[in-house]
Amino acid sequence: MLIKSIEMVNFRQFINEKINFSIESEKNVTVIHGENGTGKTTLLKAFDWVFYGNHNLFGDGKEKLLNKSIVRNMMNRETIDMKVEVCFIHKNIEQRLCRIQTYERVNNKVVPKESNLKIESKDKNGRWESITTATPQNHIDRIFPKSLSSYFLFDGERIRNLGDNNREGKKDIKEAISTVLNLDVLNNSVKHLKGVIKEYEKEYSPEFYNKENNDMISDINAKESELSIIIETIRTKENNDDLYKDELKKLSDQLISFEEVKKYELEKVGLEGDLNSHQISKENLISQYKKLFNNNSVGILGESLFAATRKYLENFELQDGVIEGISGKAIDQILEKKECLCGESIESGCRIHNALTELKKFLPPENYGVMVNGLLKNISSLHGKKEEYSLEADRIYNELLALQIEIDKTSNRINEISDYLETNDSETIKNIEKKRKNIVNNCTSLSIEIDQLKTKELVLKAEIKEQKNRLKEVELSNSADQLIQRKIEVVESLILYFEDFYDKQESEVKSHLQDLVGNIFNSIMTKDYKISFDEKYNFYVKDNNSEDITMSEGEKQITSLSFISGIVNMAKDSDLNKRFSSITDADSTEIYPVVMDSPFGSLDNKHRKNVATEIPKLSRQTILFASSSQWEGEVSRAILSNVGKQYKMVYEDDVTKII
């Protein structure tokens, strides 16, 4: 999709303005600049309104969308239309979408009346014709779904959230990945397939519903209900945890704004980052130890038994040189079928027949030599594991010990700083720190509750699985019931497939996004920082010594732009989309424009220039809003050769003109 133009009539401060956008491939950027308050954000929101009819663009409903001076001058019972029309090219066909909202003055109030949405396409003779194959909104939802639009329409607040790595920012990244993988479609598939199982269960004959089976089904249903409540509770609690984390960040920023405690709070923030890394390292060491124990415990615990077995068996002469894993029973079956595995026929008395009969004498059940040899080999492979285990276990133990000392030291210093802040002379600082401490305590309790719920979730899932397997093992005499059971089995395989598909793909897409963001970030930054995500979409920026760094406002802005670029690239990356389209018939070749508001906010001149150089590469078409001061100088010099169209917005008496 390429946007050709947008026309706004009576929409907020735009009385009658039309903007034509550049659709050239070389000069792919359209710049609209103006002083603050001229309506750049309103223009971005006009896209949201015309495509999706979102009335709550400014948080105050559709009443506030009509131009203020029009509202003031309307006569009683007079009606007036507000309109936004967007013209675009989709799959080489020019189309235009027009949304109109009518208003009427009724005494002192201007009230919204009917609204109308029209979609037309241009035929080869240049005539506009209505599209009738779907309702206008369904047509738009199909070619430019709202979920996808979030990749391409970026307002200033969203850009800030991405850089701050707050709850909204993390949600944004998560949703972007979900959209690329069509998570809604996969989730709905699972939900509906579970419903299909319930439908099939109703079709079982009365003889299936004996007391035992009935009890099992009721128990499974009760456990499934409990499980869905637990999953929902975990989600709510994780959401609350994110809210607490955002609040903690705000309180920390407040403390940093006090010059007298700035140094201490910055030290505390750094230490908290260290503590987090230490905790992750500790968890890694513990899982390394668990793995080590699981792989070696048999050899260590059974060492003396294995030594005695070896000594005892060494006294016997054992037949060797026979293929392991074959039994005499298998040879019998081959001889009975009179056909070798290679397809050659085996007649009694022939060479192969004789060789197989001879081989049988050395195989179980006639001879156990080959099995004992196998056992001896396994025992030998376990010999010496105790020493290897001890060395590795010592290493892990010593590292854990050193890490725990660091954790205690870091925690003590954090507590010291916190106590210092809590006893500060300033009441404001004291109160902020007290509030912060309370929230930290709440976070700790919440995290324990979440862990407990997650354990319960695992237990319930295992119990449900076991009971379902027991139900599957019920012998069915009725053929109709057997058919239903087979169908349920197919549905269960489909559910497993959809659940696995998302989990496997999510981690790949996440690491792909991490690489994309890292590459763009490094190409803009002059420092060599690395970006990485954890499983909750928190991102960490580290320097080349792998130390966490606290970013300046400008660096945060670059991070968010790197995310935007990464998200846009991810969405248009055909290989990535093919992951999903390989199992659907989805079209993954569509391109979309990027529309972004004020991406240069807190950057210094050098970084502005670097960011500006990246902007034309974001998409086939980029529409950029910037304040005049941001646009002039470095930015315009860096990007001008890619600018196809350029406009200036001027605001006067509630009206914006585009020049």
Partner 1 sequence: MNNIITDKEFTYLVKEIINYEKEFESNNKIGPHDIKVKIKKLIDEEVE
Q: Which residues bind partner 1 (CB under 8 A)?
A: 138, 141-142, 145, 182, 184-185, 188-189, 191-193, 195-196, 199-200, 483, 486-487, 489-491, 493-494, 497-498, 583-586
Residue among 18 and 465 whose Cβ is closer to partner 1 = 465
Q: How far is the CB of 199 from partner 1 (least distance, A)?
A: 6
Shortest distance (Å) from residue 627 CB to partner 1: 38
Angle of the 553-572 helix axis to the 156-164 helix axis, nearest 10: 100
Q: Which of 15, 49, 14, 48 is nearest to 32 (CA)?
A: 14
- Do 603 and 558 form a contact (C-beta atoms < 8 A)? yes
CB closer to partner 1 out of 359 and 494: 494
Main-chain phi, psi angles of 159, to 5 degrees: -60, -40
Question: How far, in Å, CA of 97 to CA of 89, rounded?
Answer: 11
Q: Where are the beta strands (DSSP E) in 257-296?
A: none
Q: Which is nearer to partner 1, 109 or 486 (CB)?
A: 486
Kindly state the smallest distance separating residue 501's Cβ from partner 1, in Å: 9
In the complex with partner 1, the residue whose CB is nearer, 395 or 487, is: 487
Least distance CB 117 / partner 1 (angstroms) = 15
Distance CA 391, CA 372 (A): 31
Residue 149 Cβ, how far from partner 1 at the closest point, in Å? 14
Q: Please give the Cα distance from 636 to 608 (Å, whole number).
A: 10
CA nearest 136: which of 122, 120, 147? 120
* 469 vs 278: CA distance, rounded Å: 42
For partner 1, the closer CB: 582 or 641? 582
Comparison of 90 and 237: residue with beta carbon closer to partner 1: 90
| Backbone angles phi and psi of 104, in degrees to 5 | -135, 140
- By C-beta, is 193 or 567 nearer to partner 1? 193
Give min distance, CB of 114 to partner 1, in A: 20
Residue for token pair 């998570």: 183
Is 101 strand, coil or helix? strand
Q: Which residues contact 35 (CB under 8 A, 6 or more apart)?
A: 627, 628, 649, 651
Q: Are 193 and 498 contacting, i.e. CB atoms less than 8 angstroms apart?
A: yes
> Nearer to partner 1 by C-beta: 95 or 557?
95
Q: For residues 521 and 592, which CB has a smaller minimum distance to partner 1 in the complex?
A: 592
Residue 623 CA to residue 181 CA, distance in Å, equals 26
Compare residues 243 and 483 and give the one whose CB is closer to partner 1. Answer: 483
**Contact indicator for 77, 60 with CB cutoff of 8 Å:** no
d(CA 11, CA 207): 68
DSSP string of 581-622? HTTS---------EEEE-TTTT--HHHHHHHHHHGGGS-SSE
Least Å distance between CB 142 and partner 1?
5
CB of 579 to partner 1, least distance (A): 13
DSSP state of 118: E
Residue 110 or 193: which CB sits closer to partner 1?
Answer: 193
The length of the chain is: 659
Give 188 or 279: the residue with its C-beta nearer to partner 1: 188
- CA dihedral 207→212→215→219, nearest 10 degrees, is -120
Which tokens belong to 543?
């320097």
Q: State how far the Cα of 217 lies from the Cα of 208, in Å rounded to an integer.
A: 11
Number of neighbouring beta carbons within 10 Å of residue 630: 20
Parallel, antiparallel or unpaired: strands 530-533 and 539-542: antiparallel
Q: Taking the complex as a whole, how short is the minimal distance between the CB of residue 312 and partner 1, in angstroms?
A: 43
| Phi, psi values for residue 569, rounded to 5° | -65, -40
Q: How far is the CB of 490 from partner 1 (least distance, A)?
A: 6
CA 521, CA 175: separation in Å to the nearest integer? 21
Distances (CA, A) of 515 to 142, 461, 525, 576: 30, 34, 15, 13
579 and 607 Cβ atoms separated by less than 8 Å? no
**Residue 553 CA to chain centroid, in angstroms?**
25
CA distance 346 to 340: 6
- CB of 56 or CB of 138, closer to partner 1: 138
- Between 41 and 179, CB nearer to partner 1: 179
> In this structure, what are the phi and psi dihedrals at residue 56, rounded to the nearest 5 degrees?
-90, 40
Nearest approach in angstroms of CB 491 to partner 1 is 6
User: Which single residue is written with the structure tokens 């902020």?
Assistant: 432
Minimum CB distance to partner 1 smaller for 72 or for 202: 202
Least Å from the CB of residue 626 to partner 1: 35
**Do residues 628 and 635 touch, judged by C-beta distance below 8 A?**
no
Please state the closest distance from residue 178 (CB atom) to partner 1, in A.
13
Are the C-beta atoms of residues 614 and 524 closer than 8 Å to each other? yes
Least distance (Å) between residue 489 CB and partner 1: 6
Whole-number minimum distance, CB 201 to partner 1, in Å?
Answer: 12
